[in-house]
A and B are shown apart, each in its own frame.
Chain A
Amino acid sequence: MRTLLVWLAGGLALVGSSQVALARGWNMPVGVTDLSGEIYSLHMIIFWICVVIGVVVFGVMFYSLFRYRHSQGAKAANFHENTTVEIIWTTVPLLILVGMAVPATATLQKIYDPSDAELDVMITGQQWRWRYEYLGEDVAFNSNLATPRAQIRGEEERGEHYLLEVDEPLVLPINRKVRFLFTSDDVLHAWWVPELAVKQDTVPGFVTENWVQINEPGIYRGQCAELCGVDHGFMPVVVHAVEEDEFDAWLVERQEMAAEEAMGVDRDWEMDELMERGEGVYGSICASCHQPEGQGAPPAFPALAGNEELIAGIEWHKDVVINGVSGTAMPAFRTTLNPVELAAVITYTRNAWGNDTGDAVQPAEIAERLAQ
C-alpha cells in the first residue's frame, strides 16, 4: 500500500513536470531565421488542414457508430455507391493539396538559393564530432561533445544542456548570409539545428550546401540526425550567433591563434609539452573509438595500449594516423589535425598506458611528411 502511494505521488509529480515541458516545447520551434519561420507556418497550416479533415471524417464516423448501433435496433440502408459524392471527395483533397504545394514550392525555392553568401563555412561530419572550417579565413576547428561521461553513466548530476554542449561551438554572425558546405570523412551524418531549420546530410565524397541568415543572437543547439555508428547520440551541434562586430573580432582572434600555432611547428617541443597536448587531442579525437585507456573495442577498434605493431613501427604508426587505413573505420587525420596536434597525439599514444617507447615525434617532422 505504501509503495502504491509512493508511485502515485511520483506519477503526480511527473504530470506536474509535464506542465513545465508544455510551456517549453511540444511543437516545432519558430526559429530565428526568416526561413525557419516560413517552415513553421507551413507546418502549422498543414497541421490545421489535417485537424479539420480529421474532425469532419472522425465526426461522421463516430456519429455513425453512435447513431446506427445494431443494439439500438438500427436498420441498415442499402446504398453502396454515389459517384457525385466520390468525385467531390476526390477533387476537394486534390485542390487542398495544390493549394498546399504552392507555398511549399516557394519556400523550397528560397532554401535552394545560397547565392550572395558573405561567408562560407565547410562543415565536415566525422565519427563522432563536427569540424568547422571558415573557408578563406584560415580558421578551422573541431567541435566535440563536452558532457562528461560520468553524467551519462549517472555518476554525476546532469547539467541543463546535457548532451547538447560542445567544447567549441560554431560561431556565426547575425544578419549575414552564411553558406554551409557539407561533407563527411567517413559515414553519413546529418547536421541539424532546429532553431535554424537547417538539416542536411553530410555524404562522404560529396559536397552539399544549405544556408542560413540568423536574425537574433543566441546559442542554438541541435544534434546529428543520421545514424552514424556507436556514438551517434553523442554528437551535438552548438551554434553561437553573435553581433557582427563581435564576430569579426572573434575571427581575428582565431586567426592570430592559428598563426601562433603554425609558428609552433618550427620549434623543438619538449616531451612533457607533447604529452600534455597529446592527451587533450587523444581525449577529444581518439578516445571515442580506442577508449580512454587505449584498450580499444575489438574487433572494430583495436587496442593501442600494448599494441606490438604500434610499438615496433614508428613510421607505420605515423602513416596510419596521417593517412588512415582504407577499408576500416580509421580515418585520415591529415586535414583534421594540424602538425602540432598530429605530432603530439602520436607521441602520446607511443608513451601512454605503459607503451613507454620514449619516442618524441616533432611537429616539424610531421609537417615535412605532410608536404610530400
Chain B
Amino acid sequence: MAPKVPPQPTLEQSTSAVDAGHGHHHAHEAPPKGIMRWLLTTNHKEIGSMYLIFSLIMFFIGGIFALVVRLELFQPGLQFVNPEFFNQMTTMHGLIMVFAAVMPAFTGLANWMIPLQIGAPDMALPRLNNFSFWLLPVAFGLLLSTLLMPGGGPNFGWTFYAPLSTTYAPPSTTFFILSLHIAGISSILGAINIIATILNMRAPGMRMMDMPLFVWTWLITSFLLIAVMPVLAGVITMMLMDINFGTSFFNAAGGGDPVLFQHLFWFFGHPEVYIMILPAFGIVSAIIPAFARKRLFGYASMVYATAAIAILSFMVWGHHMFVVGMPLAGQLFFMYATMLIAVPTGVKVFNWVATLFRGSISFEPPMLFALAFVVLFTIGGFSGLMLAIAPADFQYHDTYFVVAHFHYVLVPGAVFAIMAGVYYWLPKWTGHYPNVRLAQWHFWLSVIGVNLTFFPMHFSGLAGMPRRIPDYALQFADFNFVSSLGAFLFGFSQLLFVAVIILCVRGGKKAPAQAWGEFADDLEWSVPSPAPLHTFETPPTFQRPAH
C-alpha cells in the first residue's frame, strides 16, 4: 500500500496543490486579503487553526449549555428554566460537544500536525480540506438556530431515540437532521483527506511503522469515520422519511421498530466514541516520552492495540441496549465482546506507565495534562468495565453513573488530551512557550473542577438518580450541589486557557525549533518555531531515531 517513492514535491506543488500542474508559476503569490484569505485558504496550517478556533468557540457554547443544566440542578425544584428548555439544553450540550467541539478539535490538530509529522508540504487534497472546514459553521449555525424556531430545538437527547425524535419531535427536527448530514459530510471528507495524506505523502524513508502514534491513531480513526458516518446519515435519513414522508421505519403503529433505531444509532455511536478517544491516545503517546525523556514503551503494541480497539468497537454496540429486552444470547454476546475491549485498552495504560517507569520526568504544562489524562481516563475505563457487566447494568443504565463514566472518558480524557496537545504544540504554532504559571493555574483548577463535577455523579447514579431529569428527589441534593459548584469552577477556569493561548500568540519566551528537548523528536520539531506557512517544500529525508 505504501508507495516506494513518495511524491517529489516541486515548488509549485508545495505552495498549494490547487495551483499545481495548472501552469500558474507564481509560487508564493500574495494570499487574498481580509476575510477572503480565510474563506479561500488551502493551507493546512491556516485550516487547522480555523478548526481549532471553531472548536474552542463551540466548546464555550456547549459549556454554557452545560452550565444552564448545572444551574437548574443546583437545588431540587424548578428554579431557572422549564423542563422543555432543560431538555433542549442537555441535547444541545451533547450534540455541540461531540460533533462541534471534540471532533473538530482533533481534526484541527490533524490538519496542523499530520503533514508536519510525516514531512509532507500540505494535505493531499487542500481544496477539499477548505470545503470540509467551511461546512462546519454552516452545519452548527443551522443547529444552533433551531433553538430560536417555534417549538424550540432538539429536546430528545443527543442520542435522539425514536419515536421521541420522530413522531413526538418538535418541528425543527428536520433542520437538526440537515445539520447533522452536513457535519457528517464534513467528517467523511476530512477522513478521506487524512487517509490520502498519510498513505501517499510520507517523507522518503518513513515507513508506516515509523509514523508517530498521533498519525497512526488518526489513520485508524479516519477509517472508523468512513465506516460509521454513512450509518449515521442512513439513520437520520430514515428519521427524515418518518417525519416528512409518512414512512414507518421507527413507528410501531405502521409496522416499524423503535429498537431498530437504537441498533443503527449505536452501530454508529460506539465507534464514534472511539473516534473521540483514539487521537487522544496518539497525543498522550507523544507527550509522555517527551517529558519522561525515554522512548515510548511498546510502540508496536500501541499500534496493534489501537487497531484491536477499532475492530472491537464494531461488535459492542449492544451494550448500550442491555435494558431494551434483547434475547439472552444477544445480551451475553455483547457483554463478552465489551469485556474484551478492556484488554487492549489496558495494554495502552500499562505502556504509558512503563514509559514513565525509570524515566527522567519533568512536569511542563503538556505533561501535567497528559498525566491527568492517564489517571482520569483510566477511572473512566474502570466504570466502563463495571458497565459492561450486563446484570449490573440493569442498575447502572441511564443513571448518573453512566453520565459520570462517559464524562470521565470525554472531559479529562478527550478534552484534556486536546489541551495537552495544544500546550505541546503551541511553541511550534506561535514560536513562544505558553505562560507556565497561568497554564499551571489552568491545569489545577481544571483538575479540581472536573473531579468535583463528575466524581459525585457516580454516587448519585448508584443511589438511584436517572439522567436527563430537570428536578430530583431530595436525597440527591448534596451530590448535585457539589457537581454544580465543580461545573462552574471548571467552566470559568477555561477562560484561563483562552488567556494562555492569546498571550502565547502575542508573545512570551521564544521557543527554538526543537522546543521540548531531544525526546520530542518527530519531524514537526525539525522545522523552525513558529512553523512558516510553507514547510517541507523539499521533502526531508527521514532518519529513524537513534535512541
A and B touch in the complex (CB under 8 A): yes
B19 at the interface (CB under 8 A from A): no
Q: Which residues of A contact B171 (CB under 8 A)?
A: 299
* Interchain CB contact under 8 A, A70 and B163: no
Alpha-carbon gap, A208 to B83, bound state (A):
29
B325 to chain A, nearest CB (A): 3
A187 at the interface (CB under 8 A from B): yes
B510 at the interface (CB under 8 A from A): no
B135 at the interface (CB under 8 A from A): no
Interface residue tally on B, bucketed by range: 35 or more
Q: Which residues of A contact B357 (CB under 8 A)?
A: 60, 64, 68
B358 at the interface (CB under 8 A from A): yes
In the complex formed, the residue of A with least CB distance to B167 is A327
Alpha-carbon gap, A360 to B359, bound state (A):
86
Q: Which residues of B contact A38 (CB under 8 A)?
A: 391
Q: Which of B150, B353, B467 contacts A64 (CB 8 A)?
A: B353
Q: Which residues of B contact A14 (CB under 8 A)?
A: 478, 481
Alpha-carbon gap, A271 to B140, bound state (A):
55
Q: Which of B343, B361, B464, B481 contacts A97 (CB 8 A)?
A: B343
With contact pairs A201-B323, A299-B150 given, residues A70 and B331 touching in the complex (Cβ less than 8 Å): no
Alpha-carbon gap, A27 to B362, bound state (A):
38
Q: Which of A54, A78, A108 contacts B390 (CB 8 A)?
A: A108
B472 at the interface (CB under 8 A from A): yes
Interface residues of B in 212-245 (CB under 8 A from A): none
Interface residues of A in 26-64 (CB under 8 A from B): 26-29, 38-39, 42-43, 46-47, 50, 53-54, 57-58, 60-61, 64
* Interchain CB contact under 8 A, A160 and B391: no
In the complex formed, the residue of B with least CB distance to A15 is B478
B93 to chain A, nearest CB (A): 14
Q: Which residues of A contact B537 (CB under 8 A)?
A: none
Alpha-carbon gap, A285 to B397, bound state (A):
28
B354 to chain A, nearest CB (A): 7
Residue interface bits B386-427, CB-to-A below 8 A is 1, else 0: 100111101101110000000000000000000000000000
B35 at the interface (CB under 8 A from A): no
* Interchain CB contact under 8 A, B292 and A26: no
* Interchain CB contact under 8 A, B392 and A46: yes
Q: Which of A39, A68, A70, A82 contacts B392 (CB 8 A)?
A: A39
Count residues on chain A whose CB falls below 8 Å from chain B CBs: 104
Q: Which residues of A contact B325 (CB under 8 A)?
A: 182, 200-201, 203, 206, 208-209
Residue interface bits B449-493, CB-to-A below 8 A is 1, else 0: 000000000010011101111111111001101000000000000
Q: Which of A61, A164, A225 contacts B398 (CB 8 A)?
A: A225
Stretch at the interface among B49-57, B109-117, B296-304: B296-304
Alpha-carbon gap, A184 to B386, bound state (A):
29
Interface residues of B (CB under 8 A from A): 76-79, 83-84, 87, 150-151, 155-157, 161, 163-164, 167-168, 170-171, 252-253, 256-259, 292-301, 323-325, 328, 331-332, 335-336, 339-340, 342-343, 346-347, 349-350, 353-362, 371, 374-375, 378-379, 382-383, 385-386, 389-392, 394-395, 397-399, 459, 462-464, 466-475, 478-479, 481, 547
Not counting A61-B375, A190-B323, A206-B259, a sample of 8 additional A-B residue pairs whose C-beta atoms are within 8 angstroms of each other reads A14-B478, A29-B464, A58-B378, A76-B293, A77-B358, A80-B294, A151-B77, A225-B466
Ordered nearest first, which 9 A-B pairs have the shortest CB separation?
A: A205-B252, A208-B325, A233-B469, A50-B382, A70-B362, A77-B358, A76-B360, A76-B294, A80-B295
